[in-house]
Amino acid sequence: MENFNVDTLVIGGGIAGMQAALDLADQGFQTALVDHEPTIGGKMITLSKVFPTLDCCSCITTPKMSSVAHHPNIQLLTYCDLQSIQESDSGFRVAIVQKPRYVDAHKCTGCRKCEYECPILIPNPYDRGLGAYHAIRVPFSTAVPQTAVLDMDNCILCGKCEKVCPTQAVTFTQKPETFEVQTRTIVLASGFELTPLEAKKEYGGGLLHNVIDPLMMERFLAPTGPYGRVLRPGDGKEPTSIAYVQCAGSRDQSLGVEYCSRVCCMYAIKQAMLISGALPMAEITIYYMDIRTFGKGYEQFYQNAQAMGVEFIRGKVAAIHEDDQQNPVVKVELTEDGRVVERTHDLVVLSLGMVPSPGSAGILELPLGDDKFISVPAPNARPCHTTRPGIFVTGTAMGPMDIVDSIISASSAAAATSAYIRAHQNGQASPKPQEEAVYA
């Protein structure tokens, strides 16, 4: 990969990064979008449907991914790690490492013949390990780019993929390649991770067979998921009683996550409604401290779930253990009358919270707030400005938020970035407005 110059470098290809990149590119700014995964799409591409409209998630995300890939002003850099960043006269010099795919991206057509031939199956991270994929594969059917990647740690070097590839794209000798991007501005959109499933020991996450995280449930409910239906991971049984434990990773001093993650109430209610459709006879219970439905149409969504028969129980879950049938037993103190009761379910989902993705903040030398997300010194006046001039932050890299707010924050970061570039115009890479937006 050759060194090149851009007006802006967007770090992270989730919904926030994609939206910021598209907004800037549509204004004519030369934009690079870098993601450390082999595909863009972030968490959103793995979701089933979105609250509060229950629109199909990949129907919204896939066209955006495709617009990013085909935009003439966007250079897409996937499977790349940031190595270092230095200030320069005209902005920042960013060293980036292209990790080896062991597949020539220029030759690969995404035909997946290598994948069908590969004898090795490994847990698929896009399905939260519930399903399997091959050691060489295109990550999923709507991945962008449609380029195969080989996991060398699990490859047995049988050579079957190399033999079957019609374009001779497989190359076992590929090495990491370092190149430099000279950019005037940076937009950080590195997103979030869930609080660890096993963090709260008394809930048994990671130990009990049928206690899962909410992204696993998204994969059960997604049409592209591993089984196409909801099953207990412990024994493959169809569950008839499913419970959600709210605030299982947020608003909890013992975890160091004292804030509210803002999306957990809504995703639990959404999943409960979707399960009601998938398993009409199932009983669904949500154990909560208080329900926070702050967004437009969200309170109505909550009321709809109640009307559909989802049971809401106000109480703090103290512990979960397993009976001899692998059924999780939830011990809960009921807030209304102080009683402590135990209830048995087939499957329990821990509504885990959001913590920032590790990595880029350190390289960008950005200070963090008390919540460990990127610090935004003047959130009311300049909500996307970091402490470093020319570096902006958006989406869940700045704090927990839903998709609507991530998109609003991305367009806000793009506007701030565009204003900054115009104000610091020094004759290089001047904006070339596009006549037509290339995405709807």
**Beta strands at 241-245 and 347-350: parallel, antiparallel or unpaired:** parallel
Q: Which of 275, 295, 315 is nearest to 400 (CA)?
A: 295
Distance of CA 317 to the CA centre of its chain: 27
Q: Which of 18, 39, 12 is nearest to 144 (CA)?
A: 39
Site string (4-33) toward ligand FAD, x via CB under 6 A = -------xxxxxxx----------------
At closest approach, how far in Å is the CB of 360 from ligand FAD?
4
Q: 284 phi and psi, to 5 degrees?
A: -125, 130
Answer for which of 9, 25, 215, 275 binds ligand FAD (CB under 6 A) is 215
Answer for which of 71, 101, 128, 270 binds ligand FAD (CB under 6 A) is 270
Residue 42 as a binder of ligand FAD (CB under 6 A): the answer is: yes
At closest approach, how far in Å is the CB of 296 from ligand FAD?
11
Residue 56 as a binder of ligand FAD (CB under 6 A): the answer is: no
Residue 214 as a binder of ligand FAD (CB under 6 A): the answer is: yes
At closest approach, how far in Å is the CB of 216 from ligand FAD?
9
At closest approach, how far in Å is the CB of 422 from ligand FAD?
25
Residues 179-198 that bind ligand FAD (CB under 6 A): 189-192, 194
CA distance 113 to 109: 10
Answer for which of 10, 22, 24, 47 binds ligand FAD (CB under 6 A) is 47
Which region, judged by CB under 6 A, interacts with ligand FAD, from 108-116, 130-138, 211-219, 429-437?
211-219
Site string (396-425) toward ligand FAD, x via CB under 6 A = x----xxxx-x-------------------
Compute the C-alpha angle 33/35/39, nearest 5°. 105
287, amino acid identity: Y
Radius of gyration of the chain (CA): 23
* Cα-based distances in Å from 190 to 120, 165, 207, 251: 31, 34, 29, 23
Nearer to ligand FAD by C-beta: 15 or 150? 15
Distant-in-sequence, close-in-space partners of 274: CB < 8 Å, separation ≥ 6: 48, 49, 54, 221
Nearer to ligand FAD by C-beta: 16 or 118? 16
CA distance 350 to 346: 13
Given a contact cutoff of 8 angstroms between Cβ atoms, the answer to whether 376 and 383 are in contact is yes
Answer for which of 61, 147, 276, 360 binds ligand FAD (CB under 6 A) is 360
Nearer to ligand FAD by C-beta: 359 or 369? 359
Neighbouring C-beta atoms of residue 369, cutoff 10 Å: 15
At closest approach, how far in Å is the CB of 353 from ligand FAD?
9
Strand partners, 330: 320, 343
Distant-in-sequence, close-in-space partners of 423: CB < 8 Å, separation ≥ 6: none
Which region, judged by CB under 6 A, interacts with ligand FAD, from 42-50, 141-149, 152-160, 338-346?
42-50
Q: Which of 356, 374, 357 is nearest to 365 (CA)?
A: 374
Strand partners, 298: none
At closest approach, how far in Å is the CB of 413 from ligand FAD?
11
Residue 44 as a binder of ligand FAD (CB under 6 A): the answer is: yes
Name the residues that contact ligand FAD, by CB under 6 A. Answer: 11-17, 34-37, 42-44, 47, 50-51, 82, 189-192, 194, 214-215, 218, 263, 267, 270, 357, 359-360, 395-396, 401-404, 406
